[in-house]
Amino acid sequence: MGKIFSSLSLEQREAAVILQIGTFLEYFDLMLYVHMAVFLNELFFPKTDPHVASLISATSFCITFVFRPFGALIFGYIGDTFGRKATVVITTLMMSLCCATMAMLPTYAQIGITAAWLFTICRIVQGLSSMGEIMGALIYLTELVKIPERYPIVTFIGCADFLGTLAALAVATAVLSLNMDWRGAFWIGAIVAVVGTVARTALRETPEFVNAKLRLKKDLEQSNIDNTVVLKENIIVNEKVNHKTSLAYFLVQCSRPVWFYFVYIHCASILKHSFHYSTKQIIQHNLLLAAIEFLAMVFYGYLSYRVYPLKIVKARLIMVSVFIIFIPYLLFNITTATQLLFIQALICIFKPTQTPGAAIMFVHFPIFKRFTYVSFLYALSRALMYVVTSFGCVYLTKAFGHWGLLIVFIPVLIGFKFGIFHFENLEKQAGHYPNNKYSSKVIDVNLVGN
């Protein structure tokens, strides 16, 4: 790990640390509600029967992600027009304001349904800001760091995401175990987000984006014709996005929401109703899973420095594809929470996601459209799949038992396989896909577009 960071320049190391800290803080704030949802939904939403309560829980969980595509369009435009730095500063500030608002918000018992609406609005704004933050950080480092250090450095941003989730779970556990005021947790989130905002103002714009902007400015200055004509004819500005590449990236992104919901939300319901776990016990259970997932991410990040990332992703896909088929049978036959923990842990370790191949996928999108397309496809996949998975799990498992999960799992795995093989073919066509062991001699693909 030290070798990876020591090979970076001072500017790259500072940027990596600042962005990792910022992502940690951002996802601490975002996931604080997710892992306290069982407790907080009782405070901000009306009490009802278990089935309706499940639907309310699914709605409150999904609402954050449904509005993410709008955030992607807004911050995608800012990122592709004004730069990557602006997005990561603005979004962190938005998250801090939402946390402060939630910390002060009256409960349903105090002001009725107004509390539910205000709480939902805060979750929507958090979803919008998180969209610009995570993609801004990932793209920033993709454009700043060279191969092979780029792969682990970008992956470690995802590790910061998981570490933020882990910290949120730890705080949630402390709140419930020590009977602390839950509002204090959100005040902590607001304060740390402000710290992250200030730290990110020290970032510089990425060289690749700056160089592309300078080339465009030079073309405009040297032209004797109308600037509108120059923009229409400029190769960099008008480079087309490959629709098949967009579809492939979308299908890859559809995977993670399914596994996240299954592990942390669906299985929490099993713990509650089948093993009579309390909210405190569920959070402690999930805390252990988050730690396992974080360690797996760190391992994949380190491994990507030595093994070509897409090969790692494909290996995980193969292992999970075999295991997934047996999940319904296993769920029908488990008798202890420990057995469920084992199933969840295997999913956390081997679930197929873009990690650690995200940086490879980004560079196949044009520089001035990269942020908008990548973030919008990311957000759209999250919005669609969290809705499908949340409500699908409620109705499909009610109709078919645990076998209903395969109706969601299998199509997602097929789509993921198509997406990964598409990017693998793009890398082979460009001459970047190694036949044998990955080495640092692989040609840098930090190009403008495809």
Q: pLDDT below 50 — which residues of the chain?
A: 226-227, 229-231, 234, 437-450
Q: Which residues contact 94 (CB under 8 A, 6 or more apart)?
A: 125, 126, 128, 129
pLDDT of residue 445: 41
Spatial separation of the C-alpha atoms in residues 135 and 138, rounded to whole Å: 5
Spatial separation of the C-alpha atoms in residues 248 and 362, rounded to whole Å: 12
pLDDT of residue 339: 96
pLDDT of residue 222: 60
pLDDT of residue 238: 63
pLDDT by residue (tens digit) across 44-66?
Answer: 777 766 666 666 666 766 677 77
pLDDT of residue 32: 75
pLDDT by residue (tens digit) across 167-215?
Answer: 887 877 777 777 777 787 778 778 877 777 777 777 777 777 777 777 7
pLDDT of residue 155: 92
Spatial separation of the C-alpha atoms in residues 289 and 347, rounded to whole Å: 10
Spatial separation of the C-alpha atoms in residues 333 and 199, rounded to whole Å: 50
pLDDT by residue (tens digit) across 18-43?
Answer: 888 778 877 777 777 776 766 777 77
pLDDT by residue (tens digit) across 288-313?
Answer: 998 898 899 999 999 999 999 999 99
Q: 193 burial class (0-12, 13-18, 19+ CB within 10 angstroms)? A: buried
pLDDT of residue 442: 45
Q: Which CATH number fits the domain 2-430, given the four candidates 1.10.3720.10, 1.10.10.10, 1.10.10.60, 1.20.1250.20?
A: 1.20.1250.20
In 3D space, the residue among 23, 117, 30, 102 whose CA is nearest the CA of residue 65 turns out to be: 30
Domain ranges of the chain: 2-430
Cα angle value 312/316/317 (rounded, 5°): 115
What is the torsional sign of CA 152, 158, 162, 164? positive
pLDDT of residue 50: 62
pTM: 0.79
pLDDT of residue 229: 44
Say how many Å lie between the first and final Cα of the chain, rounded. Answer: 30
> DSSP string spanning 174-219?
HHHHTT--HHHHHHHHHHHHHHHHHHHTTPPPPHHHHHHHHHHHHH
